[in-house]
Amino acid sequence: MAVPKKKVSPGRKKQRRQFYALKPEGHVVCPNCLDTRRPHRVCVCGFYDGRQVTQPKTQSTETA
């Protein structure tokens, strides 16, 4: 039966799992469509800084 040569100590186990405490960041809620978007990026609905800056992206019907 295979036996681990060294048991992982509780401290090392916690080090490995440090990222468990990280929160998902880098997303803000668009005030127009209430969807999440990257900060300082135009939302898929075309809104940025409270105004329409681009045409909203639509699914498949748009030709560009």
Residue ranges of alpha helices (H) inside the chain are 10-16
| Residue 8 burial (C-beta neighbours within 10 Å; 0-12, 13-18, 19+) | exposed
CB of 25 to Zn ion, least distance (A): 19
CB of 5 to Zn ion, least distance (A): 54
Give the footprint of Zn ion on this chain (CB under 5 A): 30, 32-33, 43, 45, 47
How far apart are alpha carbons 27 and 29 in whole angstroms?
7
CB of 58 to Zn ion, least distance (A): 13
Judged by beta carbon, residue 17 or residue 40, the one nearer Zn ion is 40
